[in-house]
Amino acid sequence: MMDVISSIQGVVWGPVMLVLLFGTHVFLTIRTRVIQRYMFKGIKLSVTPDKEASGDVSGFGALATALAATIGTGNIVGVATAIASGGPGAVFWVWLTGCFGIASKYGEAVLAIKYRVRAKDGSMIGGPMYALERGLKQKWLGVLFALFAGFACFGIGNGTQGNSITGMVNDTFHVSPYITGAILTILTGVVIIGGVKSIAKVCEKLVPFMAGFYIIGCIIILFLNHAYVLDALKLIVSSAFTPKAAGGGFIGSTVMMAIRFGIARGLFTNEAGLGSAPIVDAAASTRNPVRQGLIAMTGVFWDTVIVCALTGLVLVSSILRNPEGMSGLSGGALSSAAFANIPVIGPIVLTVGLICFAWSTILGWSYYGERCWVYLCGQKAIMPFRIIYTLVVFVGSVMTLDAVWGIADILNASMAFPNLVALLGLSGVIASETKKYLFDDNMDGWSDDEIPVVDK
């Protein structure tokens, strides 16, 4: 079973997917005339509420919810896996992927607002399924995306995350997975029962705390490793373009291995191009698509350009500091060894960080899944979905989920294909909207697009 799943994973996350995703990032960067240069404008807009606009949550609330789903165990364990498999140069490619991925995240949000609809209860609904249906007139692709995302949410966004939390709590504090799983299930149910407004309210507080908490921990380690930080930075850059021989705590790696694992983990951790984040961007209060696009793209900046880069520096400098003690380690073990550099509280910092990252992913993905099932089945699917999703948290917390990780990984890749069709097929719309509001200096202008009311 696992051999079959691994084989399919190798195909869907193989060279074709990596080239398609990274190629889309580069293409949209050119098509939007390097939208990345407006990053600080996006950050400013994210903390400036557009009180006159209509929507279910604020622009920052949508960003926080998307970040909650995006910043997860991949930012810690994923980067460690990339380094273990591709060498220190993989960190450079993780970072570069994030820089170009900003354009795709921007484009996704623009399309989400452009083609969103209003449900009978007044709530906003959108995402790749509506861009495919209303923009490209390819509803069958929208249905495919919703199906893939609707099932993926139970795996990569739920069960596996709960399992990571209970495993880490058990290892650090020796608490039974059943106790941790029960608490986690109750907390999740209380939050998601209130819908996107409740989720966004929690995420607005949780995301700044968890990111700040983790970043401070990284800065402390870098301070302790200060003698090795510059060498680590040089090694990351040089290894991205030249083969790295085995030794010094690192496995041997080629440039292609660094590129492959760096791009793969970078794409996975920031989700740019997968089509998940625009589902919540569609609920944002904004007067035009470009404003939310600029806000949304800052998510990749915080997730990959900042958090993943810090993680990479921490891991590589820690290996240089203690090559024998960290030799041969990978994934969570490598991260744990790096954070052990902080006396006494290091493992606690890592555990709290992972708990917050994983739980926030559960919350964010609950909304993604809900909107996909609403697209497929209508409003009647909301309450059954929330109940089942909450119960899966407990099931995932107490089970071994190796196969689920693999299946969820495949579903994630499957989501990306129809979403990339939307991004590439509607790139002209993204470019024209950008010119209309950003390049023509009309950021305060109101969109004249009619938002249709649907029977869902």
3-state percent helix, strand, coil for the chain, nearest multiple of 5: 75, 0, 20
Tell whether the model's pLDDT for residue 249 goes beyond 60. no
- pLDDT confidence tier of residue 259, bands split at 50, 70 and 90: confident
Q: Could you give the 3-state DSSP secondary structure of residue 229?
A: helix
342-347 LR contacts (CB < 8 Å, sep 24+): 342/217, 342/220, 342/221, 342/224, 346/217, 346/221, 347/172
With 60 as the cut, is the pLDDT of residue 251 above it?
no
CB neighbour burial string for 217-239, b if at least 16 within 10 angstroms, e if fewer: bbebbbebbeebbeebbebbeeb
Average pLDDT over residues 180-204: 89
- Closest alpha carbon to 264 in 3, 1, 7, 16: 16
Query: Residue 150's pLDDT is what?
Result: 93
Can you tell me the distance from the alpha carbon of 344 to that of 348, in angstroms, rounded to the nearest whole number?
Answer: 8
Say what the pLDDT of residue 245 is.
52
- Token pair recorded at residue 424: 């590439």
Provide the pLDDT confidence category of residue 404 given band limits of 50, 70 and 90. low
- Average pLDDT estimate for 154-159: 83
Burial class (CB in 10 A: 0-12, 13-18, 19+), 118: middle
* DSSP state string for 374-397: HHHH-GGGHHHHHHHHHHHHHHHH
| Whole-angstrom distance, CA of residue 375 vs CA of residue 143 | 8
19, pLDDT greater than 80: yes
The reported pLDDT for the residue numbered 66 is 85
pLDDT at residue 142, as a whole number: 96
Q: What percent of the chain has pLDDT over 90?
A: 39
The reported pTM is 0.90
pLDDT at 331: 63
Contact 370/382 with Cβ under 8 angstroms? yes
Q: Contact, 59 vs 283, CB < 8 A?
A: no
User: Does residue 37 surpass a pLDDT of 90?
Assistant: yes
Residue 398's pLDDT is: 84
Mean pLDDT of the chain: 86
Q: What is the pLDDT of residues 86-141, one digit of tens each?
A: 888 888 988 898 999 999 999 999 999 999 999 887 888 999 999 999 999 999 99
* pLDDT at residue 401, as a whole number: 62
Whether residue 232 contacts residue 316, with contact meaning beta carbons closer than 8 Å, is answered with yes
pLDDT over 60 (residue 359): yes
Q: Could you read off the pLDDT of 304-342 as tens digits, one per residue?
A: 888 888 989 999 998 888 887 777 766 667 777 888 877
Looking at per-residue pLDDT, the higher value among 109 and 404 belongs to: 109
Query: What local confidence, expressed as pLDDT, does residue 456 receive?
Result: 62
Higher pLDDT, 429 or 355: 429
**pLDDT at residue 189, rounded to an integer:** 93
* Confidence (pLDDT) at 421: 95
pLDDT value at position 337? Answer: 80
Highest mean pLDDT of the ranges 41-55, 57-71, 121-135, 394-408:
121-135
CB 314 within 8 A of CB 322: no
State the Cα torsion 100-103-105-108 to the nearest 10°.
Answer: -140
Q: What percent of the chain has pLDDT over 70?
A: 93
Query: Does the structure show a pLDDT above 80 at 185?
Result: yes
Residue 154 pLDDT more than 60? yes
pLDDT category at 250 given cuts 50, 70, 90 is low
What per-residue confidence (pLDDT) applies to 188? 93
24-38, 162-176, 404-418, range with the lowest pLDDT: 404-418
Residue carrying the six token digits 């689920």: 404
Task: Give me the pLDDT at residue 405, please.
Answer: 65
Q: Which residue has the higher pLDDT, 313 or 156?
A: 313
